[in-house]
Amino acid sequence: MKLFVGLGNPEAKYAFNRHNVGFMAVDVIAAVHGFGAWRKRFEGLTSEGRLGREHVLLLKPHTYMNESGRSVGEAARFYKLDEEDITVFHDELDLAPGKVRVKIGGGVAGHNGLKSLSAHLGNDYMRVRIGVGHPGDRDRVVGHVLRDFAKADLTWLEPLLDAIADAAPYLTSGAKDKFQTQVAHETRDVTQEDQG
């Protein structure tokens, strides 16, 4: 079994925040791949299904971002999962909007959700970093990530989330380069339009 975690904050007022793009990603994966209904477990919401041959549990921690590790740690212990079985989808300030990069381990770059996960799990889980851009000033970061995506962002956000869902089966086998390549290929036209 693999555990795919979307990071975000639970209340409806946060639903469309940039900080909640991880929740958005796992919601689209669930919809595209016909996962089961969401149910309350592990201090969060879970949905189960298959990606390729792999059984996958999707998890949206409802502990708030800063305590995400509590929920994820509980699920990982219950299923006796190792760090390499866990993939986390989260917002990334250091990537331009619409860009996606995957890495294993490394620093948390001040991301409180990742900080909590690393405290509960260790550091060597896979991270799908979804670019939301940087506001340009460190003092404006909190306001930036806790603000909703603008309507104009939908031109790249919706195709990006669809592409992440389409390519998600690659992540179950650790094929992060194939995942990145497919996402980049599927969103190439949207990204070029935004830049040109």
For residue 9, what is the enclosing H or E element?
A: none
What whole-number distance in Å separates Cα of residue 85 and Cα of residue 172? 8
55 is known as an active-site residue:
no
CA 24 to chain centre: 8
> Tokens 């990530």 sit at which residue?
145
Q: Please say whether the beta carbons of 96 and 153 come within 8 A.
A: no
Q: Please say whether the beta carbons of 128 and 90 come within 8 A.
A: yes
Sequence length of the chain is: 196
Pick from 157, 142, 176: nearest CA to 97? 157
State the alpha helices, DSSP H only, in 33-111: 68-78
Identify the active-site residue in 19, 33, 90, 144. 19
Secondary structure (DSSP) of 94-137: TS-TT-EEEEES---TT-HHHHHHHHHH-S-SEEEEEE----SS
Structure tokens at 104: 């294993």
Could you list the active site residues?
Answer: 19
